[in-house]
Amino acid sequence: MKYLLLLIVWPVLLNCTQEKSKERPGVRQPASATTAATATNYDSCKNVIRLIRQKQKPLWAKNSLSAKEKIFTSAVTETIIPAWIGTSWNFNGTSEAPQQGSIACGYFVTTVLRDAGVPLARVKLAQCASEQMIMSLVQAKYIRRYSQVTMTKFIESVQDQGYGLYIVGLDNHTGFIYNDGNDIYFIHSTFAGTKDVQKERAAASWILDRSKYKVLGKISADEKLLAKWIS
């Protein structure tokens, strides 16, 4: 089954991940051409998600929760999120297409999840407090809160919770925490430094460290959300 799925999505996945390689080195593409290519490439990424869901749906009930979690997490972190890396941040940014315009931190989270196939109210959740957004998406049993904890303790807690994708809410910011089984990453549209969408090691994140209050929802472990995603 695994290899059959790979054969089916491989042509689309190649288009999704290798579109930028078609550009000639040293030759600046016209803005209109670049925008059109980016939009086409991102549509291919979303098609990959649709194909994965379509092929997995008949088998979903037989999969273990850990298998479902891995399928969902990989779909989001390997297909949708990479397209957004480098997209400009702006406090009022509401872009719906990577590398076009700008995007605020809340809109980054809700847009990524929506485009990965999670049913949600993109605008409403992006504009509310990050803790409220997390509570709207993740069951209480998968949510943890941290007040005045050291980064070491926070990272250890994420390690203990294991592989998967999390939404994190901070004092004045939000993004994803991704535990790939080896390292832990903070993926967010950042107002600091480069002021764009970044994937950085969580332990080295200044923004994570300075937030006195953190709310963490393990979205990839929530069986109710996964059921909505697959259907």
pLDDT at 50 over 70: yes
pLDDT confidence of 8, banded at 50, 70, 90?
A: very low
What's the mean pLDDT in 186-206?
A: 97
Averaged pLDDT of the chain = 88
- pTM for the whole structure: 0.86
Please name the residues in contact with 191: beta carbons below 8 A apart, sequence gap of 6 or more.
Answer: 89, 91, 105, 173
Note the pLDDT of residue 37. Answer: 56
Contact 220, 69 (CB under 8 A): yes
pLDDT confidence of 225, banded at 50, 70, 90?
A: very high
What is the tens place of the pLDDT at every residue in 81-124?
A: 999 999 999 999 999 999 999 999 999 999 999 999 999 999 99
E strand or H helix at 88: strand 88-89
Note the pLDDT of residue 32. Answer: 42
Note the pLDDT of residue 20. Answer: 40
Strands in 197-201's sheet, in edge-to-edge order, are 143-147, 213-217, 164-169, 174-179, 184-189, 197-201
